[in-house]
Structure 1
Amino acid sequence: MGNNTILIARDEIAAAIKYIGWDRIRAIELGNEADQYPGGLRPPGWSSYDYTAAFLGWTTILTNNLSLPSHKFQAGGFVIDPPSAPMTTVDIVNEGVEGTGAVEVYAQHTYQYSTCDPVRNAIATLPNLINHQNITAYLDLWKPQIAAARSQGHEFVVGEYSSVSCSGKENVTNTFGQALWLADTILYGAALNISRMYLHQGATLVFQSSVQANTPGFSWYDLWYPIPTDRYGSARASPSFVAYLLVTEAVGSSQQSRLALLPPLPELPDLAAYAVWDPAVRAPHDGPARLALLNLAVRNVSSSQDVGVAQVDLSAWTKGGQAKVKRMTAPGLDSTDSDTATWAGQSYTNGTASGKEVIEQLQQGKVAVKGSEAVLVFF
């Protein structure tokens, strides 16, 4: 859609169907971040109404030309944050984007911070990033968009996201702090009924911004670096890799899990607690099957290891049964060492587990969570 040439879109879709196959294609997105087209790829006044009209026209032509099934397109893919965004899911739903029965799913992109310009770069810091209140307040901006998608019987996904746009920030997004940000962001997104979140993995774009902080190369927020480089060091997984291991086990594989952010504890303001009910593991009337505790209190490598420690009493949750604990930890929030970022005692520098797995037990019904650390409790 960006180059305004429907024939290119037709050929790309045909090639995807032929070489990838429908079994691996959930939906097709026309264009990327169309809310940034005005004044560049489109005239300055190009609006959400124009996007909606183009979407309806293009999907009709492409569906007929390629004999596509209904509901095979992803609508939106906008990147500018609400509430000042010029195009949103709410807008295009109200403008009739459902009119041709082409929509399968709605998407928008989220980047909480940025290095695209000096003003935003100045506030893209670890203390700002690893802050539960900041994370929830930011994602709350998308509640109307999620509701709009659900009102049409469709899912809302975050089609692209990370913590800091324009390819992250050195000593911020390549730290263990990014793991904590990912865990809190993904779990809170799930609690808001965001169906999927697709983490951006790639490289700095030369023309992304004329005043961006980064120069061409891999992104500082990448989950892994596939080849050794002078700038990024050896080929390896980043310290943030372990966040996906925590999230995977928290959600589970039953496809029956239900997740909620629990009310905050006044005495532990930096603790985020996500309860996961999973009837395949534990009857809901007995309580949650799993509990993720994220302690976002700042503990740096140079700090005492006892900084911000939270003691959480879970004896009432076990109901006399046993509970096991897996821990996501590192020497500190600002650590960039993948070898010391661990999940259940194991590091994943090469993408596979290294070291002996450590499964802990509650101590007299309690678990201690250091600052800048997380645990997953299995009941």
Structure 2
Amino acid sequence: NDELVGLLGAERSELDLPRGFAQPLAMMMCGLHGAGKTTSSGKLARLLAAEDRKPLLVGADVYRPAAMDQLETLAKQLDLPCFLMRGEKDVNKIADAAMAKAKEDGIDVVIFDTAGRLQIDKPLVQELVRLRDRVEPREILLVLDAATGQEAVSVATHFDEALGITGAILTKLDGDARGGAALSFREVTGKPIKFAGIGEKLEDFEPFHPDRMASRILGMGDVVSLVEKAAEAVDEEAARKLEERMKKGQFTLEDFLQQLRQLKKLGPLEGIIDMLPGAGNAVKGADLAKGEKEFRQMEAMICSMTPAERQNPTILNARRRRRIAAGSGTTVAALNSMLKRFGQMQQMMKKMGKFQKMMTKMSGGMGAMPGMDKLLGR
């Protein structure tokens, strides 16, 4: 494990974006088509905004209008500024205008989403070099698809020789890829991997920790990242209130819906299981996609219910059940199965609540007995 950590970079590498500069700091995102460059630009902007930075997304792909549309959509979803000059073919003119706008608006980090290619060619390299020389970026990040494996060696070599990249973002690490691209990139360039994309959602993006990646590659899990994800996803006050309701046996379908949504925030099921030590091998061959589908179906079913139905599912007669099944795109049989499982869960929680009350009463009467406090966890 230690040797693998060393190969991956030993420790996390931070972005070189110091605060307090009079001028906005530029970043360039580069890579081939399909690597996830535009999406990664949005995810990175979200991460910077969460750290009280003021990022500006700039569409610098003058060949693919869809890239600008995608960047604009991402910016709207994130409620972050986006700079576009549709129809302008000179990247340097876009860069000048974007940097001027950033300074005017008090932006401190400008992220340039540059043009990609199906393969590296001379015109692309020349354009990227001109942009680099124009904006003098603090960071030039190569976006690499983790599934490319050894092909990452060729891509990384070409981009590093042409631009002098400062690091990489490894995308699609939620798939079958186990980090071969990470090892290849690090070995060939000597540059750090700074971030990892672990899913399709904007929040599925995290700093790259070599020690944690090494553990995942070796099937040892990554409990630290899982705990961090859970802390971000869970509302502590809401969790406390839910715990109280569960103790009283008041767990409703509305509560269940909130639990499903919090689980979704943790990312793809495959990614969660991958973080549990040994769990990857334990569920090898399991149809995790089916599990994801069932979660989505359960959410759709509950969303198709009225507030009264969520609070009291016993009022669900045949007509109501047909309506819910039609509204959620499922079947009455699937709805009945979900309600049966929910009922069993409810009964279990009621029993747990009663047991806890009983133990509390017992502990009150046995406080004087030696060792009883310790036995009851007091």
Larger helix fraction of residues:
2
Q: If you compute each CA radius of gyration, which structure gives the higher value, 1 or 2?
A: 2
TM-score of the pair, normalised by structure 2: 0.27
Which structure has more strand as a fraction of its residues?
1
- State the structure with bigger RCO (CA 8 A, min sep 6), 1 or 2: 2
TM-score by length of 1: 0.27
